[in-house]
Homo-oligomer: A and B are copies of this chain.
Amino acid sequence: MTRIRTDLAVEAKEVYEQQNEGKIPGVQIEEYEEIGMKVTHVKIVNEHGEKSMGKPIGEYITIDMPEFVHYDKEVMDDVSKALAKTLSKIVKLDKSMTALVVGLGNWNVTPDALGPKVISKLMVTRHLKELVPDSIDENVRPVCAISPGVLGLTGIETAEIIKSVADKIKPNLIVCIDALASRKTERVNRTIQIGDTGISPGSGIGNKRMEISKRTLGIPVIAIGVPTVVHAATLANDTIDLAIDEIINQATKGGEFYNMLKSLNKGEKERLINEILHPYVGDLVVTPKEIDVVVDSISKVIANGINIALQPALDLEDINKYVN
Protein backbone atom coordinates (compact mmCIF):
# COMPACT_ATOMS: atom_id res chain seq x y z
CA MET A 1 0.00 0.00 0.00
CA THR A 2 1.43 3.33 -1.04
CA ARG A 3 1.19 5.93 1.69
CA ILE A 4 0.31 9.37 0.39
CA ARG A 5 1.31 12.12 2.77
CA THR A 6 -1.27 14.86 3.06
CA ASP A 7 -1.55 17.84 5.37
CA LEU A 8 -5.34 17.54 5.55
CA ALA A 9 -7.08 15.11 7.93
CA VAL A 10 -10.07 15.09 5.61
CA GLU A 11 -7.82 13.74 2.85
CA ALA A 12 -6.16 11.18 5.10
CA LYS A 13 -9.69 9.97 5.85
CA GLU A 14 -10.46 9.72 2.13
CA VAL A 15 -7.27 7.80 1.42
CA TYR A 16 -8.10 5.40 4.24
CA GLU A 17 -11.64 4.87 3.05
CA GLN A 18 -10.43 4.26 -0.50
CA GLN A 19 -8.05 1.61 0.63
CA ASN A 20 -10.26 0.01 3.27
CA GLU A 21 -13.89 -0.65 3.82
CA GLY A 22 -16.09 0.53 6.65
CA LYS A 23 -15.42 3.02 9.41
CA ILE A 24 -11.94 4.07 10.50
CA PRO A 25 -11.29 2.61 13.96
CA GLY A 26 -10.50 5.28 16.53
CA VAL A 27 -11.83 8.11 14.41
CA GLN A 28 -15.13 9.97 14.82
CA ILE A 29 -16.45 12.00 11.93
CA GLU A 30 -19.22 14.54 12.03
CA GLU A 31 -20.42 16.68 9.13
CA TYR A 32 -22.62 19.75 9.38
CA GLU A 33 -23.22 23.18 7.87
CA GLU A 34 -22.04 26.53 9.22
CA ILE A 35 -23.43 29.68 7.51
CA GLY A 36 -23.99 27.59 4.39
CA MET A 37 -20.54 26.04 4.34
CA LYS A 38 -19.81 22.35 4.72
CA VAL A 39 -17.84 21.60 7.89
CA THR A 40 -16.18 18.25 8.49
CA HIS A 41 -15.15 17.54 12.07
CA VAL A 42 -12.65 14.68 12.38
CA LYS A 43 -11.81 13.48 15.89
CA ILE A 44 -8.92 11.07 16.27
CA VAL A 45 -9.65 9.54 19.66
CA ASN A 46 -7.03 6.84 20.18
CA GLU A 47 -3.88 5.22 18.85
CA HIS A 48 -5.76 3.14 16.33
CA GLY A 49 -7.03 6.32 14.74
CA GLU A 50 -3.61 7.90 14.98
CA LYS A 51 -2.09 5.03 13.05
CA SER A 52 -4.75 4.83 10.38
CA MET A 53 -4.74 8.55 9.75
CA GLY A 54 -1.03 9.26 10.16
CA LYS A 55 -1.91 12.18 12.41
CA PRO A 56 -1.78 12.68 16.19
CA ILE A 57 -4.81 12.27 18.50
CA GLY A 58 -6.88 15.43 18.42
CA GLU A 59 -9.50 17.43 16.54
CA TYR A 60 -9.33 18.51 12.91
CA ILE A 61 -12.08 20.67 11.51
CA THR A 62 -12.32 21.48 7.82
CA ILE A 63 -14.40 24.31 6.36
CA ASP A 64 -15.15 24.21 2.63
CA MET A 65 -15.16 27.76 1.28
CA PRO A 66 -17.75 28.61 -1.38
CA GLU A 67 -16.67 29.34 -4.93
CA PHE A 68 -16.73 33.10 -5.42
CA VAL A 69 -15.16 34.00 -2.13
CA HIS A 70 -12.32 36.05 -3.59
CA TYR A 71 -14.38 38.85 -5.08
CA ASP A 72 -17.32 39.11 -2.78
CA LYS A 73 -17.05 40.86 0.55
CA GLU A 74 -20.21 39.32 1.98
CA VAL A 75 -19.08 35.78 1.28
CA MET A 76 -15.64 36.62 2.63
CA ASP A 77 -17.17 37.93 5.85
CA ASP A 78 -19.28 34.77 6.11
CA VAL A 79 -16.20 32.59 5.84
CA SER A 80 -14.48 34.70 8.51
CA LYS A 81 -17.49 34.22 10.77
CA ALA A 82 -17.62 30.46 10.17
CA LEU A 83 -13.91 30.29 10.98
CA ALA A 84 -14.41 32.37 14.14
CA LYS A 85 -17.25 30.13 15.26
CA THR A 86 -15.17 27.02 14.71
CA LEU A 87 -12.17 28.50 16.53
CA SER A 88 -14.36 29.49 19.47
CA LYS A 89 -15.33 25.85 19.90
CA ILE A 90 -11.80 24.67 20.51
CA VAL A 91 -10.26 27.78 22.06
CA LYS A 92 -10.97 28.02 25.76
CA LEU A 93 -9.49 31.27 26.98
CA ASP A 94 -10.36 33.86 29.63
CA LYS A 95 -10.69 37.33 28.22
CA SER A 96 -7.53 38.56 29.94
CA MET A 97 -5.36 35.75 28.61
CA THR A 98 -2.76 36.51 25.96
CA ALA A 99 -2.73 34.90 22.50
CA LEU A 100 0.36 34.71 20.29
CA VAL A 101 -0.42 34.32 16.59
CA VAL A 102 2.38 32.87 14.46
CA GLY A 103 2.49 33.34 10.68
CA LEU A 104 4.53 30.43 9.37
CA GLY A 105 6.07 30.47 5.90
CA ASN A 106 8.19 32.62 3.61
CA TRP A 107 6.87 36.04 2.64
CA ASN A 108 8.97 36.06 -0.53
CA VAL A 109 7.37 32.94 -1.99
CA THR A 110 3.76 33.61 -2.94
CA PRO A 111 2.15 30.21 -2.20
CA ASP A 112 4.03 30.05 1.11
CA ALA A 113 3.29 33.64 2.19
CA LEU A 114 -0.16 33.02 3.68
CA GLY A 115 1.02 33.04 7.31
CA PRO A 116 2.99 36.30 7.19
CA LYS A 117 0.19 37.95 5.20
CA VAL A 118 -2.35 37.02 7.89
CA ILE A 119 -0.06 38.58 10.51
CA SER A 120 0.00 41.87 8.61
CA LYS A 121 -3.82 42.07 8.78
CA LEU A 122 -4.23 41.05 12.42
CA MET A 123 -5.55 43.11 15.29
CA VAL A 124 -2.50 43.32 17.55
CA THR A 125 -3.09 44.76 21.02
CA ARG A 126 -0.55 43.45 23.51
CA HIS A 127 1.66 46.55 23.28
CA LEU A 128 -1.32 48.86 23.72
CA LYS A 129 -2.43 46.96 26.83
CA GLU A 130 1.10 47.37 28.19
CA LEU A 131 2.08 50.85 27.04
CA VAL A 132 -1.21 52.77 26.96
CA PRO A 133 -3.65 50.65 28.99
CA ASP A 134 -6.01 53.57 29.63
CA SER A 135 -6.55 54.22 25.94
CA ILE A 136 -7.91 50.77 25.27
CA ASP A 137 -11.11 49.03 26.30
CA GLU A 138 -10.52 46.59 29.14
CA ASN A 139 -12.43 43.90 27.25
CA VAL A 140 -9.83 43.85 24.50
CA ARG A 141 -7.71 40.72 24.78
CA PRO A 142 -3.91 41.11 24.54
CA VAL A 143 -2.87 39.64 21.18
CA CYS A 144 0.66 39.58 19.77
CA ALA A 145 2.12 38.09 16.62
CA ILE A 146 5.31 37.02 14.87
CA SER A 147 6.35 35.80 11.43
CA PRO A 148 9.41 33.72 12.28
CA GLY A 149 10.48 33.01 8.68
CA VAL A 150 11.64 29.64 7.35
CA LEU A 151 14.72 27.59 8.16
CA GLY A 152 16.34 28.29 4.78
CA LEU A 153 16.16 32.04 5.35
CA THR A 154 16.96 32.16 9.06
CA GLY A 155 19.22 29.22 9.74
CA ILE A 156 17.19 28.65 12.92
CA GLU A 157 14.49 26.02 13.43
CA THR A 158 11.16 27.83 13.31
CA ALA A 159 10.00 26.02 16.44
CA GLU A 160 13.12 27.26 18.26
CA ILE A 161 12.24 30.88 17.45
CA ILE A 162 8.64 30.41 18.56
CA LYS A 163 9.74 28.68 21.75
CA SER A 164 12.19 31.51 22.59
CA VAL A 165 9.55 34.16 22.15
CA ALA A 166 6.86 32.14 23.94
CA ASP A 167 9.18 31.50 26.90
CA LYS A 168 9.72 35.24 27.20
CA ILE A 169 6.21 36.59 26.75
CA LYS A 170 4.32 33.59 28.17
CA PRO A 171 1.14 33.53 26.06
CA ASN A 172 -1.79 31.31 27.13
CA LEU A 173 -2.47 30.17 23.58
CA ILE A 174 -0.57 29.96 20.31
CA VAL A 175 -2.37 30.12 16.96
CA CYS A 176 -0.25 29.08 13.97
CA ILE A 177 -1.22 29.86 10.38
CA ASP A 178 0.42 27.89 7.61
CA ALA A 179 0.09 27.27 3.88
CA LEU A 180 -0.47 23.56 3.27
CA ALA A 181 -0.31 21.16 0.35
CA SER A 182 -3.40 19.15 -0.50
CA ARG A 183 -3.61 15.99 -2.57
CA LYS A 184 -6.41 17.23 -4.74
CA THR A 185 -6.51 20.39 -6.81
CA GLU A 186 -10.14 20.88 -5.87
CA ARG A 187 -9.10 21.76 -2.32
CA VAL A 188 -6.44 24.30 -3.30
CA ASN A 189 -7.46 27.67 -1.85
CA ARG A 190 -10.90 26.26 -1.00
CA THR A 191 -10.40 24.57 2.34
CA ILE A 192 -9.51 25.80 5.83
CA GLN A 193 -8.34 23.22 8.35
CA ILE A 194 -8.36 24.04 12.06
CA GLY A 195 -6.63 21.58 14.38
CA ASP A 196 -5.59 21.40 18.03
CA THR A 197 -2.51 19.22 17.64
CA GLY A 198 -0.10 21.85 16.36
CA ILE A 199 2.18 21.53 13.36
CA SER A 200 3.98 18.23 12.85
CA PRO A 201 7.53 18.06 11.49
CA GLY A 202 7.62 18.31 7.72
CA SER A 203 4.08 19.59 7.39
CA GLY A 204 3.37 22.68 5.39
CA ILE A 205 4.98 23.58 2.11
CA GLY A 206 7.96 25.18 3.87
CA ASN A 207 10.61 23.41 5.81
CA LYS A 208 9.97 22.61 9.43
CA ARG A 209 11.62 19.83 11.35
CA MET A 210 10.75 20.40 15.00
CA GLU A 211 7.15 19.97 16.08
CA ILE A 212 5.24 23.09 17.05
CA SER A 213 2.78 21.78 19.62
CA LYS A 214 1.72 21.80 23.24
CA ARG A 215 4.18 18.96 23.80
CA THR A 216 7.19 21.03 22.68
CA LEU A 217 6.05 24.51 23.73
CA GLY A 218 4.06 23.77 26.90
CA ILE A 219 1.16 25.91 25.65
CA PRO A 220 -1.94 24.87 23.67
CA VAL A 221 -1.32 25.30 19.93
CA ILE A 222 -4.15 25.76 17.43
CA ALA A 223 -3.11 25.32 13.79
CA ILE A 224 -5.00 26.98 10.94
CA GLY A 225 -3.99 25.79 7.50
CA VAL A 226 -5.08 26.41 3.92
CA PRO A 227 -3.77 24.29 1.06
CA THR A 228 -2.35 26.68 -1.56
CA VAL A 229 -0.65 24.06 -3.76
CA VAL A 230 -0.60 20.42 -4.72
CA HIS A 231 2.94 19.06 -4.94
CA ALA A 232 3.70 18.19 -8.55
CA ALA A 233 4.92 14.81 -7.30
CA THR A 234 1.53 14.14 -5.71
CA LEU A 235 -0.25 15.11 -8.89
CA ALA A 236 2.01 12.82 -10.94
CA ASN A 237 1.52 9.98 -8.46
CA ASP A 238 -2.25 10.27 -8.44
CA THR A 239 -2.32 10.54 -12.21
CA ILE A 240 -0.40 7.27 -12.52
CA ASP A 241 -2.78 5.58 -10.09
CA LEU A 242 -5.76 6.85 -12.01
CA ALA A 243 -4.32 5.68 -15.31
CA ILE A 244 -3.63 2.25 -13.92
CA ASP A 245 -7.09 2.02 -12.36
CA GLU A 246 -8.55 2.87 -15.72
CA ILE A 247 -6.59 0.13 -17.44
CA ILE A 248 -7.44 -2.33 -14.70
CA ASN A 249 -11.11 -1.56 -15.25
CA GLN A 250 -10.64 -2.67 -18.83
CA ALA A 251 -8.67 -5.82 -17.99
CA THR A 252 -10.21 -9.09 -16.86
CA LYS A 253 -10.27 -9.27 -13.09
CA GLY A 254 -8.00 -11.99 -11.74
CA GLY A 255 -6.21 -12.40 -15.06
CA GLU A 256 -2.45 -12.42 -15.29
CA PHE A 257 -2.26 -8.87 -16.54
CA TYR A 258 -4.62 -7.56 -13.91
CA ASN A 259 -2.31 -8.91 -11.26
CA MET A 260 0.77 -7.45 -12.91
CA LEU A 261 -0.81 -4.00 -12.93
CA LYS A 262 -1.84 -4.28 -9.30
CA SER A 263 1.75 -4.95 -8.40
CA LEU A 264 3.39 -1.97 -10.13
CA ASN A 265 5.44 -1.20 -7.13
CA LYS A 266 6.37 1.92 -5.26
CA GLY A 267 9.94 2.00 -6.52
CA GLU A 268 8.81 1.88 -10.11
CA LYS A 269 6.29 4.64 -9.54
CA GLU A 270 8.86 6.86 -7.88
CA ARG A 271 11.21 6.37 -10.79
CA LEU A 272 8.47 7.45 -13.18
CA ILE A 273 7.68 10.49 -11.08
CA ASN A 274 11.33 11.50 -10.88
CA GLU A 275 11.60 11.13 -14.62
CA ILE A 276 8.61 13.32 -15.32
CA LEU A 277 9.64 16.07 -12.88
CA HIS A 278 13.37 16.08 -13.49
CA PRO A 279 15.36 18.12 -12.45
CA TYR A 280 13.02 19.84 -10.02
CA VAL A 281 11.32 16.91 -8.24
CA GLY A 282 10.96 18.29 -4.73
CA ASP A 283 10.27 21.92 -5.43
CA LEU A 284 7.63 21.90 -8.12
CA VAL A 285 4.13 22.85 -7.12
CA VAL A 286 0.81 23.02 -8.93
CA THR A 287 -1.11 26.27 -8.40
CA PRO A 288 -3.65 28.43 -10.14
CA LYS A 289 -1.80 31.14 -12.07
CA GLU A 290 -3.53 33.86 -10.05
CA ILE A 291 -2.10 32.61 -6.77
CA ASP A 292 -0.87 36.12 -5.80
CA VAL A 293 -4.37 37.59 -5.72
CA VAL A 294 -5.94 34.53 -4.15
CA VAL A 295 -3.49 34.29 -1.24
CA ASP A 296 -4.13 37.95 -0.56
CA SER A 297 -7.89 37.43 -0.31
CA ILE A 298 -7.62 34.32 1.83
CA SER A 299 -5.22 36.01 4.23
CA LYS A 300 -7.88 38.68 4.85
CA VAL A 301 -10.53 36.06 5.50
CA ILE A 302 -8.32 34.18 7.97
CA ALA A 303 -7.09 37.32 9.76
CA ASN A 304 -10.65 38.51 10.22
CA GLY A 305 -11.78 35.12 11.49
CA ILE A 306 -9.02 35.14 14.09
CA ASN A 307 -9.76 38.75 15.06
CA ILE A 308 -13.42 37.92 15.67
CA ALA A 309 -12.61 34.76 17.64
CA LEU A 310 -9.95 36.39 19.84
CA GLN A 311 -11.93 39.55 20.54
CA PRO A 312 -15.43 38.36 21.43
CA ALA A 313 -16.18 41.70 23.10
CA LEU A 314 -15.76 43.70 19.87
CA ASP A 315 -17.73 43.81 16.65
CA LEU A 316 -16.15 43.86 13.20
CA GLU A 317 -16.34 47.65 12.94
CA ASP A 318 -14.37 48.13 16.17
CA ILE A 319 -11.83 45.55 15.04
CA ASN A 320 -11.26 47.37 11.76
CA LYS A 321 -10.27 50.51 13.66
CA TYR A 322 -7.37 48.67 15.27
CA VAL A 323 -6.20 46.76 12.24
CA ASN A 324 -3.12 48.12 10.65
Contact = CB atoms under 8 A, between A and B. Distances in A.
A96 interface: no
A287 B288 contact: no
For A110, A185, A205, A268, the residue with the greatest tally of chain B CB atoms inside 10 Å of its CB is A185
A152 B77 CA distance: 24
Interface in A212-239: 229, 232, 235-236, 238-239
A145 B152 contact: no
B68 A120 contact: no
Nearest to A272: B242
B160 A110 contact: no
B287 A287 contact: yes
Given A188-B280, A232-B235, A126 B146 contact: no
Contacts of A2: none
For A116, A152, A239, A246, the residue with the greatest tally of chain B CB atoms inside 10 Å of its CB is A239
A165 B155 contact: no
Interface stretch (A9-17, A23-31, A38-46, A256-264): A256-264
B152 A144 contact: no
Nearest to A165: B164
A209 B131 CA distance: 11
B154 A71 contact: no
Interface of A: 68, 71-74, 77, 107-112, 116, 119-120, 122, 124-128, 131, 142-149, 151-157, 160-161, 163-165, 167-169, 185-186, 188, 205, 209, 229, 232, 235-236, 238-240, 242-244, 246-247, 250-251, 257, 260-261, 264, 268, 272-273, 275-280, 283-293, 317, 320-321, 323-324
Closest 8 CB pairs of A and B: A144-B155, A126-B155, A164-B164, A124-B155, A164-B168, A71-B320, A239-B239, A240-B243
10 contacts: A72-B317, A72-B321, A127-B151, A145-B154, A146-B154, A147-B149, A164-B167, A165-B165, A238-B276, A284-B288
